Amino acid sequence: MEGIQKSIAELAESFNTTMADFQSQIDKATPESPTVSSVATQFSAFRAFTLKAIESLQQQVELLDQHMDSMEMRSRRKILLIHGVAEATNEDTSARVVDLLKMHLKADLTTDKISRSHRMGRPRSNKTRCILVKFRDISDRNATWSAKTALKGTGVIISEFLTKPRHEVFMAARERFGVRNCYTREGSVFVLVKDGDRRCVTCRADLDKIQVPPPAPAPVAGAVSSAGAAVDQQLTKRTRKQIARS
């Protein structure tokens, strides 16, 4: 952050000094002087310098955003979201989660292994809020995450607590590559591509680098495969022999 602030200050100082110099030259110019042409040349060079400096600042900001996002995701590494658990008045969310996981996942879990839990967002009459669960030990969190497939068919879903940028990337990946080809693990988004290969993405730039494999060519009407052609050829020879014998 200190480096970015310094770059912005230097850019602002250079901009103000150069623009003041341009204004001074324009004020002193006479109709027959070549000042206007000279200022135009200097301005063109200054514009190129300014655009390059802005691009450099944008890259620094992007790196800073990625670093902050990584730190935020790391702070959520012990958290899971439980979706589909009906709400009740004056409920103990930790107890409800423990009972649910014991029933379906056969988990060796107690409420004292949960650091905190609560519903996310404001209550809504038409929507069940998910439960945020923070485990005390990362091993309990990972064990729960690994066994989540046992919840299939129960209406309950477990997901990771992704940061907003990573959640947006995950949703974009699912839309582009299909739900079955995208999943998350330890806060990273993975995309399955051709031949079982997988790519890890943490931002839009990573997602845009993935090349979508071209679709398989559609069969041409009336075309015969090599195997089919061989069979047809054998049948033709057999038919000729039968005709010759008759």
Tell me what the mean pLDDT of segment 199-225 comes to.
65
Mean pLDDT of the chain: 80
Which helix (H) or strand (E) segment holds residue 155: the answer is none
pLDDT of residue 139: 94
Indicate the CATH number for domain 77-161.
Answer: 3.30.70.1820
Tell me what the mean pLDDT of segment 101-124 comes to.
91
pLDDT of residue 225: 40
**Residue 210 carries which side chain, given as an amino acid letter?**
I
Domain boundaries in the chain? 2-75, 77-161, 162-215
> Percent of the chain scored above 70 by pLDDT?
75
Give CA–CA dist 80/60, Å, rounded: 31
Give CA–CA dist 176/180, Å, rounded: 11
pLDDT of residue 21: 76
Q: Give the full edge-to-edge strand order of the sheet including 198-201.
A: 182-185, 188-192, 198-201
Buried b (16+ CB within 10 A) or exposed e, 105-140: bebebeeebbeebebeeeeeeeeeebbbbbbeeeeb
Point out the least confidently predicted range of 4-18, 70-84, 93-107.
Answer: 4-18
Q: Is 147 exposed, middle or buried (0-12, 13-18, 19+ CB in 10 A)?
A: middle
pLDDT of residue 106: 86
Our measurement of the distance from residue 188's CA atom to the centroid of its chain's CA atoms, rounded to an integer in Å, reads 8
Q: Is the pLDDT of residue 224 over 50?
A: no
pLDDT of residue 84: 93
Band (132; pLDDT cuts 50, 70, 90)? very high
Band (31; pLDDT cuts 50, 70, 90)? low
pLDDT of residue 77: 94
Which helix (H) or strand (E) segment holds residue 182: the answer is strand 182-185
pLDDT of residue 86: 92
pLDDT of residue 230: 44
Note the pLDDT tens digit of each residue in 149-201. Answer: 999 999 999 999 999 999 999 999 999 888 989 999 988 999 998 777 888 88
Note the pLDDT tens digit of each residue in 42-84. Answer: 777 777 777 787 778 778 888 888 889 999 999 999 999 999 9
